[in-house]
């Protein structure tokens, strides 16, 4: 790893949960990201995209750590080290505010990985930033992500801006109990 990349990676916190280790993004994570964007699973995230377009999205998200002090975490299984997905805070051009987002590999779906990782990130955000809430901006057809946002304790708040007029915006309050 190049020295600047190492410095940024070292600055990203490591968060441990019962089953998961959330850590700085690594170059090998991109292959999973590219596979996600090459599949129909990415339809609610502006996909499918070719590998070049997926790189542009991923690299911009990873750069948030250097530019804003937050960004995506890679999710690994604590015991096996298996890569399970990504969760984090996204706030690139076009997003009205920092957004809590996630994706998991097909093998990790339906196992509570995204909710466990997202709760850990919400607790980190609460401890690290003085934000009253964070949002998740979700296309209306992405019913699984909407259900996850609500499972995390979020509420649909039509008063908050999305990207598109029909987006479902879920507000996650950070001032209450963790």
Q: Read out DSSP for 76-128?
A: EETTT--EEEEEEEE--TT-SS-EEEEEE-GGGTTTTHHHHHHHHHHHHHHHH
**Which of the listed CATH numbers 3.30.1330.200, 3.30.930.10, 3.40.1190.20, 3.40.630.30 matches domain 3-131?**
3.40.630.30
pTM of the entire predicted model:
0.93
Residue-wise pLDDT tens digits, 94-107: 899 999 999 999 99
* Residue 5 clears pLDDT 80, i.e. is over it: no
The residue among 15, 176, 4, 19 whose CA lies nearest residue 113 is: 19
Average of pLDDT values for 145-153? Answer: 97
pLDDT computed for residue 1 by the predictor: 64
* Residue 45 clears pLDDT 70, i.e. is over it: yes
* Residue 177 clears pLDDT 60, i.e. is over it: no
What's the mean pLDDT when you consider all of the chain? 93
* Residue 4 clears pLDDT 90, i.e. is over it: no
* Residue 131 clears pLDDT 70, i.e. is over it: yes
Among 21-25, 45-49, 120-124, 153-157, which stretch is predicted with the lowest mean pLDDT?
45-49
Task: Give percent above pLDDT 70 in the chain.
Answer: 98
Cβ proximity of 134 and 121 under 8 Å: no
The residues spanned by each domain of the chain are: 3-131
* Residue 117 clears pLDDT 60, i.e. is over it: yes
């Amino acid at each position: 790893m190049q020295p600047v990349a190492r410095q940024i990676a070292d600055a990203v916190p490591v968060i441990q949960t019962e089953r998961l280790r959330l850590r700085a993004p690594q170059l090998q994570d991109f292959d999973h990201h590219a596979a996600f964007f090459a599949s129909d699973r990415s339809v609610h995230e502006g996909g499918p995209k070719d590998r070049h377009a997926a790189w542009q999205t991923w690299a911009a998200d990873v750069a948030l750590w250097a530019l804003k002090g937050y960004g995506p975490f890679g999710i690994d299984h604590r015991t096996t080290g298996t890569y399970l997905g990504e969760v984090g805070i996204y706030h690139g051009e076009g997003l009205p505010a920092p957004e809590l987002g996630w994706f998991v590999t097909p093998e990790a779906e339906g196992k509570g990985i995204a909710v466990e990782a997202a709760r850990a990130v919400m607790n980190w955000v609460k401890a690290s930033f003085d934000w009253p809430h964070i949002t998740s901006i979700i296309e209306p057809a992405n019913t699984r992500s909407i259900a996850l946002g609500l499972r995390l304790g979020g509420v649909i708040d039509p008063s908050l801006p999305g990207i598109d007029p029909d987006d479902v915006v879920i507000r996650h309050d950070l001032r209450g109990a963790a």
